[in-house]
Structure 1
Amino acid sequence: MNNPSRQKTLLYVAILSNSLFLAHHSNAQSGESARQEIENVLVVGTRQAYRGEFTSLEIPQSELSIDAKTLRDAGALDLNQALDLSSSVARQNNFGGLWNSFALRGFVGDENLPSNYLVNGFNAGRGFGGARDLSGIESVEVLKGPRAALFGRGEPGGTINLVTKRPTFETKGELRLSAGSHSTYRSDIDWTSPLSDNFAVRIVGFYEDAESFRDTIDTQKQGLSPSFIYRFGEQSQLVYELEYSHQEIPFDRGVIAIDGQLGLIPENRFLGEPGDGPMETDVLGHQLEFQHDFNGNWSTLVGFNYRDTSLEGFATENGFSAPDANGNFGRFRRYRDYDATYQVLRAELTGSFTTGELEHRIIIGVDADEFENDQFFLRIRNRQSNQEINVFNPVYGAYALPQPLPNTDRVETQESLGVYIQDQISLNDNLDIRLGIRFDDYDQELHNRRSNRTSNYSETQLSPQFGVVYKATDSLSLYAAYGENFRPLSGATDDNHLEPNQSKSTEVGINFTLNEGLLEGTLAIFDVEQSNISTVDADFNATAIGEAGSQGVELDLHGNVTDSLSLWLSYAYIDAETENAFNDPNFGTEVPAGSDLLNIPEQQLSLRLVQRTELAGKPLSLISGLLYVDERNGFFSRQDFKLPSYTTVQIAANYELSNAIELRAEINNLLDEEYYTNSFADVWVQPGTPRTVRVSAAFRF
């Protein structure tokens, strides 16, 4: 897209990043002592943008890092399974299985787009690349509370950040082969090696072919993530990562409730048309980061990201009307051709210095990004063409699939330039305060190709944060934090003046360690207020008047209880509801104040135990896991429709035959619980997977 203002913005960022580099490089070399400091610096790893260097007891916010070992013990292969380990995260409508959608601390983002998440600090959830696979992911970070003061626009309840597997200067590799229920077969490869003293590569990839407990549903997924790191001596390094994936997944809206009752049709009943074929999604992304350490105190990070995603295919979907007395159920057919590109350039300087008795740890940065959302959408409803199916005795292919009619043809572009600064000031050895603010200047352009009309919307935004943390002992700190967040609303124009979604959060808590530091935990109490939620007025025009609140308590505890027993516990109590009456834009009904937000359980618990022992002198890990999800509102416009609570149990075992071979067996949903993970309405309800078994073998080399 040729956009002069965009090109100027990127140029300004590039100039500023070089200015930061040159200015500090000049200062660092102003004396012989500075030169001696630099000579002793060795780059030993990559640094995360927007984060700084803080221990868990120094952070005045709640954060949860799910590391590679925990993900492996849990058998998590995709992002949904990883986020089940955090009880602060609740599953939302997943767009027929085509994307990740989740709520954090009770709040979800734009229901018409995937939930946004970050990869190494870069926005990556925006777009249509399918549900995120964890191949190539080292850890998953759940960063709770508003983060706009650093990251910029984002989800109101917090931020999910994925940390990728990057090359190391140690040669190692692993091939993992697995097979499971419903003819599920998967292979994963991970290999890294230095090619010289300064250059290392890593290749991570996967392939999966699977049927499903859902009738007629077959999926194929594949992905590849090659990367390299190059060190320019002892102080600088360049990291490049490529992301490619292709998925073929039939669109599946799930099951329906009949007269408000679930379970009257079996959980495997597919109500679409197999003849539509799968939806196809593709991702091609690039990340490039340059890091330079001036000395032991100051570092700069300059990065560029470009990600292209697409989604295309036909789908016959559950309609919104209830089936008749004989079970005949209306549907509609849609065709989607969605494309999205996202690119960002950023530069950041981090360091520490003292003023008098005060120590400062500071982050200063600037970034510019562009998100282009191109949607072509066709639709035909049941009343325009007979598309009924009998929910009790479905017959697929009973009629010729109708050709959908024009509905949406538009492209929306969002551009933003942001500048941010954060300073954590140590007033003494025990007391820190954190001050931060970010300025964003963003523009939205919406071009409707059907009407050949273009509209625009511009806004500036300040996002402050404040935190205080008191280190009471070497194993306990108390903190309080306040922050504000914003998220531009898709479809904002000069006509409807859809002001950005706003949220304010207050949080108090304690970070602590137990068992001589082997157990880490956080207990937090939070209150989040959200305003300018997108809705419709009495004339069904878009507006942003919705308000909602979320309050709750969270407890995260993980680590080693004994030398051989490890614990993972995450519990959340969340009370999330509307604060004013407004119209539901999807069904045109009024939602009263005090209504429960969609798919938000009041209580959720994730508990895992891993016992390490030996069998025939070889290491053996015995794993048990439990996930409890409370009753949830399943239909925003009908508060009496609830998804029942459920508990699933997992058992697994990892056995190391040798340093080179590891075997694993797992049973998921051991008690074969019938449950429902999320819904959008009583006719779009996603059933959970019944009992499954999976075995795998890993070969290390």
Structure 2
Amino acid sequence: MSLPRTPRTLSTVIATALASTSALTVFTMPALAQSSDPERIEDTIFVRGDRQAYRGNIEALEVPAADLSLDADLLADAGALNLSDALDLSASAARQNNFGGLWNAFSVRGFAGDINLPSGFLVNGFNAGRGFGGPRDLVGIESVDILKGPRSALFGRGEPGGTVNLVTKRPDFETGGYVQGTIGSWDQYRFEGDAQTVLGTDEALGIRLVGFFEDAASFRGPVETQKYGFYPSVTWNVSDDTNITYELEYTSQELPFDRGVVYSDTFGFSPRDVFVGENVPIETEVVGHQIEAQHNFNDNWSFLGGFGYRETSLEGDAFEPQFGSRQTYFRDGQTISRFFRSRDFESDYLVLRGELAGEFHTGSLRHRLIVGADYDEFDNTLVIDRYRSRFSGDLANLTPGDIATHLLLDIDNPVYGANLSPATSANTNRNEVLTGYGVYVQDQIDLTERLQVRIGVRFDDFEQDLTNFLASPASTITSSDDRVSPQFGVLYQVNDGLSLYASYGEGYRQQTGQDFQGNQFEPNITESAEIGFKVDVGAFSETIDGFISATLFQVEQSNFLVNDDRPEATAVGFFSIPAGEAESTGIELDASLDFNNGFALWVSYAYTDAEFSNSFADVDGFGFTIDAGDPMINSPEHQLSVQASQSFALASMPVELGGGLLFVGERNGWVGSDFTLPDYTTVRIFGEVEPVDGIKVRLDIDNLFDETFYTNSFADVWVEPGAPRRFRLTASYAF
């Protein structure tokens, strides 16, 4: 017989998109019929439980955009432990250079954000991605939503290709939880837990405690990672119409700074198991607070207000492979030359927001309105000291003094710790404060029973204060700008299970730094158009539930930073100018299907043609000229993610078997050069059994066929290798 499993149905996706994990209260109320027949009355469903910001009372089939929700079941089947693992499930998202493994970096539809900062993402609608808290663990995450296309008409400052929103675990007013332990390859030990209860005579207070600890070595030599996190949350149901939720985010991590392997046209890639840094960890920490209050005025209108404050820090030393003529590996294929940087980064992120959502009618037209305002302030301090040398001696007769002075490493016989504290000089010491406030409105109008249009607009005003403490004397330059971001969409619901849509939107992203005259850069601008369809499979089948969506898109980007080679700029130093242009076109197909025999299938495919649209000098100063038609970095034309599982009973024990496949096509590995990362295909399998009620044992095998592959790069000397075949054994107890 087949066992029931939690389905990844369209209704699940809708509930995830509209609400957090708290229980939903759904009311029905009469609405004016979209018909001339005065006797006809239809029901309108209005969600009155906890909801996510910027969503309103709009179901998934009514959204004129290609949104995707990765729920807890799918993430568990995929064995995803961090945000990068989760985003591999979406073919629209590609891994980008992650700063030596110290933060999450990704592109959506070919476009990434600022390579010098983590990729921006939201947590429960709060801007939270910027900062230096290390890569995000998924233990406290209920779902990962990928909102494709620019969303600045609502969200404001966002990444160009799309927005990622993490929905956290919150109290759902139950008592129970689980504890879980994992052991894996390279001495991985991981423990996590999730427990919640209800307090008070009227059970109005829900408490949830989530946390984890992990200690692991690496296939990359003498490298060890240790991290832990604690994510408690409390929800108080003040009344039937009002609730308040508080969440704490605390994560501490000690991570090696690992730029990966080095590539040479003559010698190929350096061995993937040879660590080319030093075993001195970078310490990252994040302390974040979120408070949200929701009040339902009636069955039609609700208010959601929130406050978020997040402190992050990154501190430690790093030994990184050198570029160009300084790189000795290009001479002998054996000796890697490195330079040294000591970093001390800190950031504070404050977000305030308030939003009113509801619906009304004007004649026969139904309006679903969202009106809101927000404010955020990002305070970012960067201090970097650097030591760099150039070795020009005889590589065949290296002395210990040569190795120590020039930070050289022999890949055949790596000796670490020869010179861990070289003499440094100040390289960067600056503070940047970006502030902005915005107001927005969105109206989704039912023109007929089937036809809807969406109109939205947002106004933002932002300011930048930049202080360079290396200047003499130190001074602060202030600049400001504003931006209007519109969006338009039309959607036709063919029937209860199929909708067709088209949409257009503009987005922008603030850019850090200033030009040679001390002016703030104009924002990075994105214009996006797409057409597509969505299918609720359950509306057409009694044996299959789930959803399918297909999208054709085009994204144009302008004003990204390039090298300012004008004589007046080069005369005073190395500066940038917002003059770059790029575009991407593509096709996306996403499907999540659950069969009534216990079989589940997830498929995500994307064809993305992302390339530069104009010619300019490379912003990183490597001397490259980028021509129109050159590909965007780390953006494969073809990407495919497949996940399948089967649930059944074996001797009355629940069993689940499954696996996944990830194909990533070849892609550019260094902007402006012909360096290309090869395509790769990895396969993973898993099996889970529940021998006793509440106790589960699971085995994961990642990279089953031990593929040698490379996930992303910044240049030919900073290439991140994928892990060899890996085993993980997990035992959990639910109570």
TM-score exceeds 0.5: yes
* Partner AA of 1:522 in structure 2: S
- 2:288 aligned partner: 285
Residues 399-445 of structure 1, C-alpha deviations (whole Å, 9 max, x = no match): 46303210111100000010000000000110000000000000001
Residues 334-357 of structure 1, C-alpha deviations (whole Å, 9 max, x = no match): 000000010111110000000001
- Mapped to 2, the partners of 1:487 and 1:595 lie a distance apart of 23
- 2:275 aligned partner: 270
- Mapped to 2, the partners of 1:294 and 1:658 lie a distance apart of 47
- 1:454 aligned partner: 476
1:232 maps onto 2:238 in alignment = yes
- Mapped to 1, the partners of 2:682 and 2:538 lie a distance apart of 29
- Mapped to 1, the partners of 2:68 and 2:524 lie a distance apart of 25
- Mapped to 1, the partners of 2:266 and 2:479 lie a distance apart of 41
- 2:715 aligned partner: 681
- 1:618 aligned partner: 653
- 1:79 aligned partner: 83
- Mapped to 2, the partners of 1:575 and 1:419 lie a distance apart of 34
2:438 to 418, 436, 449: 418
2:130 to 106, 126, 130: 126
Shift of residue 260 of structure 1?
Answer: 6.1
- 2:561 aligned partner: 534
Secondary structure at the aligned position of 2:75 is classed as helix
Q: Structure 1 residue runs of 4+, over 6 Å off? A: 41-44
Residues 73-118 of structure 1, C-alpha deviations (whole Å, 9 max, x = no match): 1110100000000000000001000000000000000000000000
Shift of residue 390 of structure 1?
Answer: 2.5
Secondary structure at the aligned position of 2:76 is classed as helix
- 1:431 aligned partner: 451
* 1:317-466 correspondence runs (5 A): 317-321=320-324, 322=327, 323-326=329-332, 327-383=334-390, 385-399=405-419, 401-451=421-471, 452-466=474-488
- Mapped to 1, the partners of 2:687 and 2:410 lie a distance apart of 43
* Partner AA of 1:144 in structure 2: K
Deviates more, 1:378-387 or 1:236-245: 378-387
Q: TM-score, normalised by structure 1?
A: 0.92
* Partner AA of 2:407 in structure 1: Q
Residues 23-49 of structure 1, C-alpha deviations (whole Å, 9 max, x = no match): xxxxxxxxxxxxxxxxxx999741100
Aligned residues of 1:664 and 1:695 also touching (Cα < 8 A): yes
- Mapped to 1, the partners of 2:505 and 2:330 lie a distance apart of 50
- 2:211 aligned partner: 205
Deviates more, 1:51-60 or 1:332-341: 51-60
Distance 1:534 1:42, change over 3 A: closer
- 2:398 aligned partner: none
Shift of residue 450 of structure 1?
Answer: 1.5
Distance 1:238 1:589, change over 3 A: same
Residues 168-208 of structure 1, C-alpha deviations (whole Å, 9 max, x = no match): 21101100111100100100110011012111100000000
Count of paired positions: 657
Structure 1, unpaired ranges of 5+: 1-40
1:169 to 162, 173, 176: 173
- Mapped to 1, the partners of 2:48 and 2:56 lie a distance apart of 16
- Mapped to 2, the partners of 1:89 and 1:407 lie a distance apart of 33
1:641 maps onto 2:675 in alignment = yes
Shift of residue 521 of structure 1?
Answer: 1.3
- 1:307 aligned partner: 310
Aligned residues of 1:572 and 1:604 also touching (Cα < 8 A): yes
1:97 to 101, 106, 116: 101
Shift of residue 59 of structure 1?
Answer: 0.6
- 1:609 aligned partner: 644
- Mapped to 1, the partners of 2:677 and 2:266 lie a distance apart of 10
1:558 maps onto 2:592 in alignment = yes
Secondary structure at the aligned position of 2:692 is classed as coil
Distance 1:426 1:228, change over 3 A: same
1:106 maps onto 2:133 in alignment = no
- 1:49 aligned partner: 53
Shift of residue 259 of structure 1?
Answer: 2.2
Deviates more, 1:121-130 or 1:539-548: 539-548
1:672 maps onto 2:721 in alignment = no
* Partner AA of 1:551 in structure 2: T
1:475 maps onto 2:497 in alignment = yes
- Mapped to 2, the partners of 1:262 and 1:184 lie a distance apart of 30
CA RMSD of aligned residues (A): 1.5
Identity of aligned residues (%): 51
Aligned residues of 1:572 and 1:605 also touching (Cα < 8 A): yes
Shift of residue 492 of structure 1?
Answer: 3.2
* Partner AA of 2:209 in structure 1: I
Aligned residues of 1:43 and 1:293 also touching (Cα < 8 A): no
- 2:628 aligned partner: 593
- Mapped to 2, the partners of 1:345 and 1:324 lie a distance apart of 51
2:182 to 178, 182, 186: 178
Residues 449-488 of structure 1, C-alpha deviations (whole Å, 9 max, x = no match): 1210211220010000000000012211100000000001
Secondary structure at the aligned position of 1:131 is classed as coil
Residues 633-674 of structure 1, C-alpha deviations (whole Å, 9 max, x = no match): 111131x21111000101101212233111111100001100
1:500 maps onto 2:523 in alignment = yes
Secondary structure at the aligned position of 2:268 is classed as coil
Secondary structure at the aligned position of 1:330 is classed as strand
Secondary structure at the aligned position of 1:271 is classed as coil
Distance 1:525 1:260, change over 3 A: farther
- 2:23 aligned partner: none
1:525 maps onto 2:552 in alignment = yes
Secondary structure at the aligned position of 1:389 is classed as strand
Secondary structure at the aligned position of 1:325 is classed as helix
- 1:491 aligned partner: 513
Secondary structure at the aligned position of 2:263 is classed as coil
Q: TM-score, normalised by structure 2?
A: 0.88
Residues 142-182 of structure 1, C-alpha deviations (whole Å, 9 max, x = no match): 00001000000110000000000001211011001111001
Distance 1:260 1:110, change over 3 A: farther
- 1:216 aligned partner: 222
